Structure 1
Amino acid sequence: MPVPAALSSVLARTPSGTVSLAVLRAEVRLFRREPGAIFWIIAFPTLLLVILGLIPDFRRPGEDLGGLRMIDLYVPTVVLLSAITAGLQSMPAVLTGYRERGILRRLSTTPARPVSLLTAQIAVHFGAILVAAAVALVVGRTAYGVAFPQQPFGYALAFGTATLSALALGTVISAVSPSTKISNVLGSLVFFPAMFTAGVWVPVQVMSGTLRTVVEYTPLGSAAQALRQASAGDWPDWTHLGISGLWALVLVLAAARWFRWE
């Protein structure tokens, strides 16, 4: 990712009270220049939803699903897939790339603090995930008649905790990875288990009892259940919201403590 050479000098002249905003603006501009990240975070999850919807069995109601269709269950799942991709694949590569090329070391001479950069990256990717979620919901409704979330406020809360927990996991990977190669390895190691717990291969609600109980204690497994409940019109279980939110808080605090400029 190209980074303006003058960024550190701009931040050096930026008043300390507005340095976080300056970092955020720079990160937004840089993210917009990354078509690969935009595709995998925003476009690919919806593309996967469209492909799954072409399977006839996914459009048939099932008695074991309470009259729902598999495609109904997969809309919250692809929303989580976007969050996983952003948190485990995109953001760590950006931050460790900055460290590897000495950009973080140069930024350390400015008023910017590690938490400013971490916050900016979380905000940028959160925005991308929000766009991806909106696209998936609209396409699901338009193409396959998937109902919009029946409990919108609960869905928004579940979406927020789910997204923050995925991004927080990415910040920890960024904090402990000295190079892009290491962050890619760690991200890949966590990526596939995260997709499983989010229900990409098997929706969480159709897993066996013991397996589902274990998955629901993971940040994305609990988030998947919260999103499903809100989609059906129920307020998300506070246990699911609490597990997902607690994971996000612990991981962000750990990343802020371990993150170093070089």
Structure 2
Amino acid sequence: MNTLALRRLAITEAKLFLRDPVTAFFGLAFPVVLMGILGSIPALRKASPAMHGLSTLDLYAPILTVFTLMMLAMNGLPPLLAGYREKGVLRRLSASPVRPAMLLGALLPLYLVVAVISMALVMVVGVICGVSLPQQVAGFVLAFVLSAAGLFALGLLVAALAPSGKAGNAIGATLFFPLMFFAGVWIPRDFTPEWLRRIGDFTPSGAAVQSLQDAWTGHFPHGVDLLTLAVFALVAGGAAAKLFRWE
């Protein structure tokens, strides 16, 4: 019964996700479109000694992979869960065979699948434009999983603290922009001062991009970056579990 209910809940949430054009576009399609636009500029495909033999497009491949995770974590989870609580959806679920906790069992795998699809499409477009596939596969998978765990945990913490759907959207958006900055969306991390990169290393977005970039170029991700992501996943996730209110 629980398995069937979980499956139906996951299908329903998937349909709702696809019916929201803003979240669906920016969470799934935007990184792919941006990779295609950047790849169409010849100068961005040229490797540079100043960037350790990489091109600007090489730097943006892991950035755009993390962008999807940030979008889903900050602009997807908080307003959705806080809105469900505000409207009494979670309270009504508690009186049905579908327990509120099962909602997370449907949402988190759904968002992870969306992130994987977006990442795969970014890779396909990147390969067409001359970007190589990740060379350290095991390290890349580990970095991606920890990146998803750290960012989603932060999103759940925002959802736990937000008193309403609008507040969840506002708080998530407020955090989204500095996370984008430290991820290098506007200025790739390699172009920023050393001290700013060091600060970014201790943010979930900065650590995520750096660990994925290391794996992309054939190096196992640095332990500090992986530890940063694991700490965010454990601390933010634990705080979210303790503070989350179902009604």
Q: How many residues align?
A: 247
State TM-score, norm by structure 1: 0.87
Distance, in Å, in 2 between the alignment partners of 1:253 and 1:20 is 23
Q: Are 1:206 and 2:171 an aligned pair?
A: no
State TM-score, norm by structure 2: 0.92
Q: Is the 8 A contact 1:118 1:171 kept in 2?
A: no
Aligned with 1:66 (options 23, 34, 52): 52
Aligned with 1:92 (options 71, 75, 78): 78
1:193 corresponds in structure 2 to: 178
Distance, in Å, in 1 between the alignment partners of 2:95 and 2:204 is 36
Residues 62-90 of structure 1: per-residue CA shift (max 9 Å, x gap) = 11101110001100000111111111112
Distance, in Å, in 2 between the alignment partners of 1:259 and 1:146 is 42
1:18/1:260 Cα in 2 relative to 1: closer, same or farther (>3 Å)? Answer: farther
Say which SS state the counterpart of residue 76 (structure 2) adopts.
helix
Aligned with 2:63 (options 77, 83, 86): 77
1:156 corresponds in structure 2 to: 141
Distance, in Å, in 2 between the alignment partners of 1:121 and 1:170 is 12
Shift of 1:117: 2.0
The residue type equivalent to 1:54 in the other structure is: S
1:200/1:193 Cα in 2 relative to 1: closer, same or farther (>3 Å)? Answer: same
The residue type equivalent to 2:115 in the other structure is: I
Aligned with 1:225 (options 186, 192, 210): 210
Q: Is the 8 A contact 2:140 2:215 kept in 1?
A: yes
Q: Is the 8 A contact 2:93 2:100 kept in 1?
A: no
Distance, in Å, in 2 between the alignment partners of 1:245 and 1:205 is 23
Q: Is the 8 A contact 1:114 1:260 kept in 2?
A: no
Aligned-residue identity in percent: 38
Q: Is the 8 A contact 1:115 1:256 kept in 2?
A: no
1:108 corresponds in structure 2 to: 94
Q: Say which is worse superposed, 197-206 or 130-139, in terms of deviation.
A: 197-206
1:12 corresponds in structure 2 to: none
Shift of 1:219: 1.1
1:42 corresponds in structure 2 to: 28
Q: Is the 8 A contact 1:81 1:195 kept in 2?
A: yes
Residues 30-78 of structure 1: per-residue CA shift (max 9 Å, x gap) = 3343343221111001111222223343122211101110001100000
Instruction: Give RMSD over aligned pairs.
Output: 1.8
Shift of 1:21: 4.8
User: Any unmatched runs of 5+ in structure 1?
Assistant: 1-14
